[in-house]
Structure 1
Amino acid sequence: MNSAPPPPRRRGSLLERAVERYGFQPGVGLRPVGQATAGPPVPDPVPAPARAPEPIDRERLAERGMLVPNGPVSALAEEFRLVKRQLLTAAREGEARPRSVLVCSAQPNEGKTFCAVNLALSLAAERDLEVLLVDADFAKPDVPDTLGLPTGPGLLDALADPTVDVESCVIPTDVPHLSVLPAGTRSDNDTELLASDRARALLDRLEQANPRRLMVFDSAPVLAASTAAALAEHVGQVLMVVRADRTSESDLREAVGLLDGCDTIQLLLNAVSLQPRGRRFGSYYEAEEEA
């Protein structure tokens, strides 16, 4: 990893502050990944009938301090608007798997599921995207619970059984442009399933099913489980969540080193304590309403 200090940049977004704090230059310095050999074709299972959209629990999101679909503009909403703009720019410029983002952290309890769900909700507001939020934290799959959705068959079931149609596991929601793919039934060979040629073919199938689909993976912490490193080989970019009051530089550097299967890694600084220096994101809209 090239850890040379980045050139001076405009301060503002959490991505930029994370880069400045830890001395990483996003998207630079990881070794190229060789071309994977094509695996056996994935069988064509019988497609399942379309499912009715499941309602998102908006009250639960509000109680947890998360973005609420169609809610008022807030500082959090504006921060994730900036984050997604940088990710979408990188996606347009990427050459390999540009429509897939892995969200992870070095250690547990650093806010990666919080950031993955908020990012997916923010991306779903885009007019030209269909967002698929994939719960890939197989040991602690929290995405359905966070959104108030039912659990059921998911990614691991489709990887383990060729007769399972992965699209039948996708849960449409009542938030326009947002669907969720649960983790599925946990097995003892999660990492091996993700590292297989079948996984690459299945993820290709998910991406090709809808040319407007962008996939956001919420993975296990990098230093707590090996699945994140395996997933990194299948995505176009990684968003590493860095908790300002917890993540050590040594943990961050070790985690980034394990994600060398992806060439583009960006950092998102979470749980920042900001000094009051006047109004921040969101207050502009409030002032307009008060006028």
Structure 2
Amino acid sequence: MNKHTSLKARGSLLERAAEAYDFQKLFAPPAATPEAEIPPVEAQPAPIAVAPPVRMESVAPRWVPMTPVPFTLAKPEAVPVPAPKADRTGHIDREALAEAGFIVPDAPVSALSEEFRIAKRQLLIAARGDAAGPLPKGRMILVCSAQPNEGKTFCAINLALSIAAEKDVDVLLVDGDFAKPEIPAILGLETGPGLMDALADPALDVERCVIRTDIPGLSVLPAGRQTHNDTEQLASAHTQAVLESLLAHDPARIVIIDSPPALAASPASVLALHAGQVLMVVRADQTSESDLRDAIGLLSGCETIQLLLNGVQMAAGGRRFGAYYGYGD
């Protein structure tokens, strides 16, 4: 630059250098050279290799013996049952007993309590024995009926409550209706391990399943777990040993078993084999003579069978138990 050079600004140095040296032309890409047109080539099919024929020789079939593999059906694991408490106790709901029409301990004498006073006396005489001696296994009493809804559970509970009032007797009420156990619910007791658990587990002491109630002289043994082979379980030698242990535990104990209906469930006939006395509940105007005969035939494993008429309506001038004590109508 000299004094004759024009001072007129023509842009920055970078702009003027780019104009002087034509950077755009310098860095422009070269012109593309047209390529020669290549004629298309038709694709030729690849040659297929043909394998030479293979001669197949016939082979005679040969029998290969198969070694049988033994198949073992795995047994289902038993569901563990929680061990019962060492000393099970329970409170009897007396208000529920009164509302349901049962005998209430320490309540005024009623016609119902008087009827069971008469019924229990014959059973106790046979259990304790007379001049001829006690009845074999007479302290184990089975309460049964021919069909459902004839009052067997009602009579079993009332009989147990009445016998518990005796001064020198303890009563064990056993719920032997394994398919439809009702005794704990009626008395307001908790269910839990019971007779069937002790029968299924030889290591379980049946006395640990017994519930001591707050009614003096009355204990309850629940039915326990439900099973599909209760009849076969009851017919086992272990069952006989367990039931005999219930009697041997206390010489003053009377065992009352509430059985399933004889014509509705097979365990009743097996339980009769273990009992010394059977109390057959007959519902007035409901139990037919044919049902009664069939039921007694099924319970013939016990030689001593007595009938108890339930639901009878007394005619005017007949029994009016309770009135003598001032509590009747």
- TM-score, normalised to structure 1, is 0.80
Counterparts in 2 of 1:256 and 1:168: CA distance versus 1, 3 Å = same
State the Cα distance separating 1:48 from its structure 2 match: 5.8
Look up the equivalent residue of 1:238 and give its one-letter code. V
Structure 2: stretches of 5+ with no match in the other structure: 1-82
**CA root-mean-square deviation:** 1.6
Matched, 1:167 2:207: yes
Identity of aligned residues (%): 64
Matched, 1:75 2:120: no
Matched, 1:234 2:274: yes
Look up the equivalent residue of 1:197 and give its one-letter code. A
Q: Paired residue for 2:147, among 107, 117, 121?
A: 107
Partner residue in 1 for 2:173: 133
C-alpha distance in structure 1 between counterparts of 2:318 and 2:136, whole Å: 42
C-alpha distance in structure 1 between counterparts of 2:271 and 2:284, whole Å: 25
C-alpha distance in structure 1 between counterparts of 2:170 and 2:103, whole Å: 18
Question: Does the CA-based 8 Å contact 1:173-1:179 persist in structure 2?
Answer: yes
Partner residue in 2 for 1:50: 87
Note the 1:271-286 alignment, pairs <5 A: 271-277=311-317, 280-286=320-326
Per-residue deviation, residues 45-91 of structure 1 (Å, max 9, x unmatched): x996333x311011111111110011110000000000000111122
Moved over 6 A (4+): none
Question: Does the CA-based 8 Å contact 1:47-1:165 persist in structure 2?
Answer: no
State the Cα distance separating 1:287 from its structure 2 match: 6.5
* 3-state SS of 1:133 partner: strand
C-alpha distance in structure 2 between counterparts of 1:170 and 1:279, whole Å: 37
C-alpha distance in structure 2 between counterparts of 1:160 and 1:279, whole Å: 47
C-alpha distance in structure 2 between counterparts of 1:287 and 1:96, whole Å: 39
* 3-state SS of 1:284 partner: coil
Counterparts in 2 of 1:87 and 1:252: CA distance versus 1, 3 Å = same
State the Cα distance separating 1:277 from its structure 2 match: 1.1
Per-residue deviation, residues 162-209 of structure 1 (Å, max 9, x unmatched): 121111100000000000000000111101111111011011111111
Partner residue in 1 for 2:101: 65
Per-residue deviation, residues 202-259 of structure 1 (Å, max 9, x unmatched): 1111111111111000010000001110000001100000001210000000000001
Q: Larger C-alpha radius of gyration, 1 or 2? A: 2
Look up the equivalent residue of 1:175 and give its one-letter code. I
Partner residue in 1 for 2:122: 86
How many residues align? The count is 242
State the Cα distance separating 1:278 from its structure 2 match: 6.3
* 3-state SS of 1:162 partner: coil
C-alpha distance in structure 2 between counterparts of 1:287 and 1:161, whole Å: 49
Matched, 1:206 2:243: no
Partner residue in 1 for 2:14: none
State the Cα distance separating 1:121 from its structure 2 match: 0.1
Partner residue in 1 for 2:305: 265
Compare relative contact order (CA 8 Å, sep 6+) and give the higher one, 1 or 2: 1
- TM-score, normalised to structure 2, is 0.71
C-alpha distance in structure 2 between counterparts of 1:287 and 1:108, whole Å: 32
* 3-state SS of 1:84 partner: helix
State the Cα distance separating 1:279 from its structure 2 match: 6.5
